[in-house]
Amino acid sequence: MSIEITGVSKRFGDFVALDDVSVSIPSGGLTALLGPSGGGKSTLLRIIAGLETADTGRVEIEGVDATRLSPQKRNVGFVFQHYAAFKHLSVARNVAFGLEIRKKPKEEIRARVDELLKLVHLSQFADRLPAQLSGGQRQRMALARALAVQPSVLLLDEPFGALDAKVRKELRDWLRRLHDEVHVTTVFVTHDQEEALEVADEIVVINEGRVEQVGSPDELYDQPANDFVMRFLGPVTELGDRLVRPHDLQLLTDSTDPGAVSGRVKRITRIGFEIRVEVAVGEQDVTVTLTRNEFLALDLRVGSEVQVRVAPEVGAVQGRPEAVGAV
């Protein structure tokens, strides 16, 4: 394990940011700390970096107890949401900063900076000032700067949070590919479940200062440990007392399946390739999402009588909400 966090708690005044958190982060992986804003994930990242100190607990990085180590001595690379560029230094000198601090020979610095700028596709901007770069370019510069010192772990705090949707998506793909090339143990904080599911090898869901679940994207999506994780990772709807994903439900006409329940179509909304059908089942409104072809085959209208059931393939993989807490 590259990072071992044991029993870490942190308070800011009355606010409990982290409450007895223990997590192991594997070497060489890309791990997401996922959770809603104010849930403590950034605090955990800053404690790993040494930018905050834990009230209690222990942080180990690569087998070394780092709990009381200053940020300068932890050898971690940190990337901030708002880039934290050194505004008065050129892109190349930003990247060179950590190496200059370490008093590396000039030739070595030059070669390393060159290599890194190539890696983040900023070679032609080496002499620009950060203010002359776009947000995405600035964040890539920040990443190169953090990687320059060959950190044992790379920490990214909402790295794409300040970028617009399109750039965010590009950088996400790019980060994944970069990680496959560089293999440094990477932890990034995000509140965007899609980002975590798409990029990470492993996801740690954090809410209200506690770890809710740790697992691969598939495990989290298919076997959420509890209602919170289920709701946070994707859309949900209730059928009877069961919490299910709307795309795991089927609509049938003329079904004799005893597991299906009858209802009446209340509203039909089309969002691109997806059709969202709201069905009134007794007192409950159940949401079902269908593909366009499924929808056309059923020939549904508002007011149609339908039967709703959980798709038979689903039961096998999906955890049930009654199993809450059984991590």
Partner 1 sequence: MTATALTTDRPAVSRRPIRHGRPLTWVSGVGFGVTMMWFSLLVLIPLAAVVATAAAGGWSNFWDAVTSEQTLAAIELTVGTAFGVTVVNVFMGTLIAWVLVRDRFFGKRVLEVLIDIPFALPTIVAGLVLLALYGPITPIGVDIANTRGAVFLAFQFVTLPFVVRTVQPVLAELDRDVEEAAMSLGASRFTVFRRIILPSLTPAIAAGAALSFARGVSEYGSLVLFSGNLPMKTEVASVRILSSIENDNLDSAAAVATILLVISFIVLVVVDTLQRRLVRRG
Q: How far is the CB of 120 from partner 1 (least distance, A)?
A: 12
Which residues are within 8 A (CB) of 167 and not within 5 positions of it... i.e. 6 or more apart?
A: 134, 135, 136, 160
Binding to partner 1 by CB under 8 A, coded x per residue (else -) over 40-59, reads ---------xxx--------
CA atoms within 13 A on the CB side of 107: 0
Q: How far is CA 71 from the centre of its chain?
A: 24
Interacting stretch for partner 1, rule CB under 8 A, among 9-17, 87-95, 286-294, 306-314?
Answer: 87-95
Restricted to residues 128-167, the positions that interact with partner 1 (CB under 8 A) are 128-129, 132, 142, 145-146, 148-149
Distances (CA, A) of 304 to 238, 255, 256, 272: 20, 14, 17, 22
Restricted to residues 63-82, the positions that interact with partner 1 (CB under 8 A) are 70-72, 74, 76-78, 80, 82
Structure tokens at 250: 């089927």
Shorter beta-carbon distance to partner 1: residue 138 or 245: 138
Q: How far is the CB of 267 from partner 1 (least distance, A)?
A: 46
Q: How far is the CB of 34 from partner 1 (least distance, A)?
A: 22
Instruction: State how far the Cα of 92 lies from the Cα of 245, in Å rounded to an integer.
Output: 48
Structure tokens at 191: 């509140």
Shorter beta-carbon distance to partner 1: residue 74 or 168: 74
Evaluated on CA atoms 252, 258, 260, 263, the torsion sign reads positive
DSSP 36: -
Site residues for partner 1 per CB under 8 A: 49-51, 70-72, 74, 76-78, 80, 82, 84-90, 92-93, 96-98, 101-102, 106, 109-110, 113-114, 117-118, 123-124, 126-129, 132, 142, 145-146, 148-149
